[in-house]
Amino acid sequence: MSEISRRRFLKDTGVTAAAVGLGLFGSRTVLGGIGPNDTVRVAVIGVKGRGGNHVESFRKLPKVEVAALCDVDEKELEGAAKGFAGPDGNGKKPDLYTDVRKLLDDKSIDAVSIATPNHWHSLASIWACQAKKDVYVEKPCSHNVSEGRRLVEAARKFDRIVQHGTQCRANKGIKEAMRQLREGVIGDVYMARGLCYKWRNTIRRMKDEETPKGVHYDLWLGPAPVRPFSQNRFHYQWHWNWAYGNGDIGNQGVHQMDLARWGLGVGLPKKVQSMGGHYMFDDDQETPNTQVATFEFPEAKKLLVFEVRHWITNAEGDTPCHVGVLFYGSEGTMVIPSYDSYATFLGKKREAGPKGSGGGNHFANFIDAVRSRKREELEAEIEEGHISSALCHLANVAYRLGRTVEFDPKTETCGGDKEANALLTREYRRPFVVPESLAAL
């Protein structure tokens, strides 16, 4: 192990109590606020893949310091730390942690950015809220419907700024598209189709093996059941296992689900159907790679249809659209074929209408809200993130049960349907528990 590892991993010896201190943590965010000239100290939790993008995005922002990194894989953690060396490093190296609970003990950290596997998203975010840290959490913000609601409650209880990682909400082209829909560019919008046509090759079958050196596997498992280590349930491949991920509808698809729901102007559905399967490949994947889900919003008289396809397929709509959203209205259609652009086609002749594009900076928006303490300034406030994530989870509930699911948006339960309600939450492995109620926290 390198010198930086020997020095900094000393922080991670031992295991702390499951719940971080109740109200015992603080930072300038709590004690006196962060002034416009103060540096916001951010910690990134999960540094591989999307987490690396978090690190670089925050480092580019003025008056923001990536002060700490956390990952259960020492190799990945050291690799991320090396990126701070060189002429752009300013001589500052982040503190390194393998246990998120140790990181949350650091009162100098103002905010955390979470890019862990899905099964850790809500728990790490709730613990961070308890520790008086603001939170940027990757999509989906939850592994199931119930814990997503607990996260929203934690954000309110501890008065935290919590941003959801559906970053296209910050893009100017998308915001313009939503404004056009509200203003009636295609008339009365009655239906949306979300498309997630990502090429996902087979993950094949792999045997269980010994945990690689430097991987803190018990911490990686966290709230999930104990199983032997497998590369097919580790880096990225965890997406295709029910214990850790939510399939592609909750991976790539949550972006398009969020846009479809936003454009329709709806919240949680009352009825959900979903069919599909794990077609074509014979491998270790548990989640479907082909899936069609339908959500009914009877009071709004609107329908949302979502499709996942995993292999060779056609683009749809009037522009190439493999990952995007199609909106149908009384006077035309709108296509959102990317994260930052849209086009409209009007009337029976489908003549070209308004179109536009433009990007944005979701991370900068989060930091601005951290400074202002105004959650209404967030482009993807956690309540919106919870609802969009919940639609993905409900689709998977209906798929796994093989039948229609009736849902009550007010109680966020399936009434007396015990089988469906059981899939709205999960069994948590102690001490990594998302509480059923935050009243005692």
Residues 407-428 as b or e (16 or more Cβ within 10 Å = b): beeeebebeebeebbebbbbeb
Report the first-to-last Cα separation within the chain, whole angstroms. 39
pLDDT category at 120 given cuts 50, 70, 90 is very high
Per-state percent for the chain, helix, strand, coil, to nearest 5: 30, 20, 45
Q: Chain-wide mean pLDDT for the chain? A: 92
- Split at pLDDT 50, 70, 90, the class of 92 is confident
Q: Looking at the predicted structure, is the pLDDT value of residue 27 above 60?
A: no
Distance CA 232, CA 243 (A): 13
User: How do residues 29-83 score in pLDDT, each as one tens digit?
Assistant: 444 578 777 999 999 999 999 999 999 999 999 999 999 999 999 999 999 999 8
Which residues partner with 302 through β-bridges? 297
Residue 174 confidence (pLDDT) above 50: yes
What average pLDDT score do residues 360-370 get? 98
pLDDT at 5: 41
Instruction: Give the separation between CA 168 and CA 153, rounded to whole angstroms.
Output: 24
Q: What is the pLDDT of residues 260-309, one digit of tens each?
A: 999 999 999 999 999 999 999 999 999 999 999 999 999 999 999 999 99
Task: Report helix, strand or coil for 121.
Answer: helix
Segment 395-418 mean pLDDT: 98
Instruction: Compare 129 and 6 and report the one with higher pLDDT.
Output: 129
- 114 phi, psi to nearest 5 deg: -110, 120
Q: Nearest 5°: phi and psi at 155?
A: -60, -40
Report the b/e string of 106-134 with b at 16+ CB within 10 A: bbebbbbbbbbbbbbbbbbbbbbbbbbbb
- Confidence (pLDDT) at 272: 98
Average pLDDT for residues 179-197, to the nearest whole number?
Answer: 98
Predicted confidence at residue 86, as pLDDT, reads 56
Q: pLDDT digit string (tens) for 317-337?
A: 877 889 999 999 999 999 999
Q: Which CATH superfamily is domain 3-168+363-380 in?
A: NAD(P)-binding Rossmann-like Domain (3.40.50.720)
The 10 Å Cβ neighbour count of residue 214 is 16
pLDDT given at position 87: 52
pLDDT given for residue 1 in this prediction: 42
- Tell me which DSSP letter residue 338 carries: S
| Lowest-pLDDT choice from 83-92, 128-137, 295-304 | 83-92
pLDDT band at 371 (very low <50, low <70, confident <90, very high): very high
- Pairwise pLDDT comparison (274 vs 21), residue with the higher score: 274
Q: What is the pLDDT of residue 360?
A: 97
- pLDDT of res. 88: 52
pLDDT of 9 strictly over 90:
no
Task: Give pTM, 2 decimals.
Answer: 0.92
Residues above pLDDT 90, as percent of the chain = 85
Nearest CA to 366 out of 158, 135, 178 is that of 135
Q: Has residue 202 got a pLDDT over 50?
A: yes
Q: What is the rounded CA–CA span in Å between residue 172 and residue 361?
A: 10
pLDDT at residue 71 in the model: 98
- pLDDT at site 409: 98
Per-residue model confidence (pLDDT) at position 91: 56
> Is residue 352 over pLDDT 60?
yes
Q: What is the largest CA-CA distance in the chain?
A: 69
Of 3 and 83, the structure prediction assigns the larger pLDDT to 83
Contacts for 280 with CB less than 8 Å, ≥ 6 apart: 289, 290, 310, 311
- Report the CATH number of the 169-204+236-359+392-422 domain: 3.30.360.10
Average pLDDT over residues 248-266: 98
What does the domain layout of the chain look like in residue ranges? Answer: 3-168+363-380, 169-204+236-359+392-422
